[in-house]
Amino acid sequence: MKKNAFYAQSGGVTSVINATASALILESKKYKSKIGKVYAGKNGILGALREDLIDTSKENISAIKGLRETPGGVFGSCRFKLKNLEDNKEEYKRLVEVFKAHNIGYFFYNGGNDSADTAYKVSKISNAMGYPINCIAIPKTVDNDLAVTDCCPGFGSAAKYIATSVMEASLDVASMSETSTKVFILEVMGRHAGWMAAAGSLAKIDKKDAPHITLFPEIVFDEKKFLLEIKKTVNKEGYCVIVASEGVRNKKGKFLAESNLKDAFGHSQLGGVAPFLSNLINAKLKLKNHWAVSDYLQRSARHIASKTDLAHAEAVGSHAVRYAVRGLNGVMPVIKRGDGKKYSWKVEPAPLSKIANVEKKLPKSFITKDGFGVTNKAIEYLRPLIVGEAFPKFKNGVPVPTKLKLKMVEKKLKKWTG
């Protein structure tokens, strides 16, 4: 029987997550005997719970195709984690009510670790609540910390942005270092895994090039060693460029920049490691320094997206549809790297039981012995992911984003009060 599909975006968005949505919607049109309409959840899983469904069939094909060049999450995202079925059965009852009311038999959830966990829980509805559903999680995260998959769509473009920013900023600092700034700090995302920080080293052409120091969540911060390395670098090169992960911790296991706030997933909100390091350098070394936080810029920079990353993002979207119509449930389309020196890849299904709540950290073999840089092995892994340019269309000097009609589906149920 033909069933409708539900697609939603979750967690922090990326410069290519809309490309995944575009590919998924277009691929669904190839299976008209099995998939009716694709409904997008407004603001992630909340769209399903609130019955806030967007009818993508009301959009022009040209607009859907244009999504591949538009950053952000066009349907809205959220940070909302479903509890276990036994802890809050009402949420799952509500999902089933909405799915039944709108003849939804396919569930696609596009996100990172917490989103994979949500999708894994939804995939169990078939057995636990007797409602047939094919649930596919789709990978997305600039943190690159999902297990099983070789890399995560969104990471390659963010890595390209970071490497480019480090290179360009270092040339600026070098030109001013004689009489002005001696140290520049770029803070990047990465709460527990140092993939984003490691990407900064792709800026290096020669060994002496920036970044001179990289701080990873995987390496305990040693203040004395850090300050000595800065002093040594400034004396030798005249300046020092630092890439610092937001998740750097001290010897007590505390984030250097931890605030007392928590986000919707229960994670500690970080207040900024760059200003912390800047204050430390001011107090201990008396060196003029500047800092920047790449923040949303690193994950939304579609103007400098990686062509490889864009291809990954589209492939996981189309494969998700193929897996669903084949009857697969509780899986994720993951990227598998091929053997050999020339970069190659393919997409395969992997069980969510091996992905949900598992965090892939930067391997020790990717970090130099002094803890301040990356090895050739890391560069060999990272380099192919940023290769190729996929520039969007420009008008009047700026990129042209695609805007959808976002027509809402008429509600059939009572308002959700959860």
DSSP state of 359: B
Give me Rg for the CA atoms of the chain: 22
Beta strands in 250-330 (DSSP E): 258-262, 268-270, 289-293
Q: DSSP letter for 306, please.
A: B
Q: How far, in Å, CA of 94 to CA of 75, rounded?
A: 21
What is the C-alpha to C-alpha distance for residues 29 and 32, in angstroms, rounded to an integer? 6
Which residues, listed in sequence order, are joined to residue 110 by a DSSP beta bridge?
9, 138
Q: Is the separation of the CB atoms in 241 and 215 below 8 Å?
A: no
187 to 193, 197, 270, 272, 418: CA distances (angstroms)? 14, 8, 11, 8, 37
Output the CA–CA distances (angstroms, integers) from residue 20 to 82, 161, 179, 330, 366, in the order listed: 23, 20, 48, 19, 29
d(CA 403, CA 200): 32
Here the tokens at position 306 are 């990686």
Count of beta carbons in the 10 Å neighbourhood of residue 167: 18
Query: Do the Cβ atoms of 240 and 234 come closer than 8 Å?
Result: yes
Count of H helices and E strands in the chain? 13, 15
Give the integer Cα–Cα distance in Å for 391 and 310. Answer: 11
Asked, as a colleague might, if the bond just before 363 is cis with ω within 30 of 0, I would say: no
The DSSP string of 279-316 is HHHHHHT---EEEEE-HHHHHH-GGG-BHHHHHHHHHH
Using CA atoms, how far apart are residues 376 and 374, in angstroms rounded to an integer?
7
- CA torsion 283-284-290-292 (nearest 10°) is -90
- In this structure, what token pair is assigned to residue 239? 């300046």
Amino acid at 351: P
The contacts of residue 260 (CB under 8 Å, 6+ apart) are none
Q: Out of 114, 143, 145, 309, which one is annotated catalytic? A: 143
Active site residue 206: no
Please state the φ and ψ torsions of residue 37, each to the nearest 5 degrees.
-100, 155
Residues annotated as catalytic are 143
